[in-house]
């Protein structure tokens, strides 16, 4: 059967050197260009084409090949508090068993591989001695990245009133105004001094005097 995987792709690895000998080991290091959409879309991730360092340990076991590894790269995103660009160093660890397509979970040869579709959904398989690391790598990177990245742990964020970045102006503040008096303050600003006196009761003494004269 011809392999569906292309060994020329940077995230496809060949295990033929292990020779299905339980206990056989192979260590690999590879630096590749990061694939597209590696990370949490719209939040933080490794830019497409950025250097991605891989360290892998391949171990032959009865059921298949156990792959243990670490991926390192620089991720970019946006601070969720102040919306400034940020960069962080990513280190994602992973481990997965890539099973032989003709063996069950105990390493025993089975007559019809892939008969149980539900079990196969949760398993990774070798294809003619090849395995594709990309699905496993994507899951590991997402788990290693912060869901809410910040430029620094104590980032104060943005002013809720005007949107200014508080880290650039630690003394930034707005005078609090009681909304119950805001309308009256606006009205007072448009009144003349005479109108203010009348509102404050300045005309009351003259009104009492006129009333006394009439009596």
> With pLDDT > 90 as the criterion, what percentage of the chain qualifies?
53
Q: Strand pairing of 12-14 and 51-60? A: unpaired
Q: What is the predicted pLDDT for the residue at 172?
A: 77
C-beta of residue 70 within 8 angstroms of C-beta of residue 29: no
Tokens 């490794």 belong to residue: 46
Q: Say how many C-beta atoms besides its own lie within 10 A of residue 158's C-beta.
A: 17
Evaluate if residue 151 carries a pLDDT over 60: yes
**Dist CA 126 CA 104 (whole Å):** 13
Give the DSSP per-residue string, 166-190.
Answer: GGG-TT-------HHHHHHHHHHTT
Residue 133: is its pLDDT beyond 90? yes
Which of 85-89, 95-99, 188-192 shows the lowest per-residue confidence on average (mean pLDDT)? 188-192
Confidence at residue 182, expressed as pLDDT on a 0 to 100 scale: 61
* pTM confidence score: 0.70
Which residue, 55, 78, 50, 79, is CA-closest to 68?
55
Beta carbons within 8 Å of 78's beta carbon, 6+ residues apart: 43, 44, 84, 85, 86, 149
Mean pLDDT lowest among 10-24, 59-73, 152-166: 152-166
Using pLDDT thresholds of 50, 70 and 90, give the confidence band for residue 178: low
- Who has greater pLDDT, 207 or 131? 131
Q: What is the residue-wise DSSP string for 140-176?
A: HHHHHS-SS--SSTT---B-TTT--BGGG-TT-----
Residue 40: pLDDT over 80: yes
Average pLDDT over residues 178-205: 58
Contact call for residues 73 and 34 (beta carbons, < 8 A): yes
Per-residue pLDDT at 115 exceeds 60: no
The mean pLDDT value for 65-76 works out to 98
Higher pLDDT, 3 or 50: 50
What is the C-alpha to C-alpha distance for residues 81 and 83, in angstroms, rounded to an integer?
A: 6
What is the per-residue pLDDT for 162?
78
């Amino acid at each position: 059967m011809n392999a569906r995987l292309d060994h020329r792709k940077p995230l496809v690895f060949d295990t033929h050197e292990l020779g299905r000998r339980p206990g056989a080991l192979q260590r690999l290091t590879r630096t590749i260009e990061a694939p597209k959409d590696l990370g949490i879309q719209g939040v933080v991730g490794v830019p497409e084409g950025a250097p991605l360092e891989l360290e892998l340990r391949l171990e032959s076991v009865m059921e298949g090949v156990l792959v243990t590894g670490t991926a390192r790269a620089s991720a970019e995103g946006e601070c969720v508090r102040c919306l400034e660009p940020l960069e962080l160093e990513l280190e994602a660890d992973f481990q997965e068993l890539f099973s032989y397509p003709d063996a069950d979970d105990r390493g025993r040869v089975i007559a019809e591989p892939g008969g149980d579709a539900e079990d196969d959904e949760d398993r990774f398989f070798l294809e003619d001695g090849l395995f594709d690391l990309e699905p496993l790598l994507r899951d590991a990177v997402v788990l290693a990245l912060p869901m809410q990245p910040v430029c620094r742990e104590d980032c104060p964020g943005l002013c809720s009133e005007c949107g200014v970045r508080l880290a650039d102006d630690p003394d930034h503040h707005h005078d609090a105004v009681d909304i119950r008096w805001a309308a009256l303050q606006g009205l007072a600003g448009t009144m003349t001094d005479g109108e203010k006196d009348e509102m404050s009761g300045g005309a009351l003494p003259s009104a009492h005097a006129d009333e006394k004269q009439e009596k």
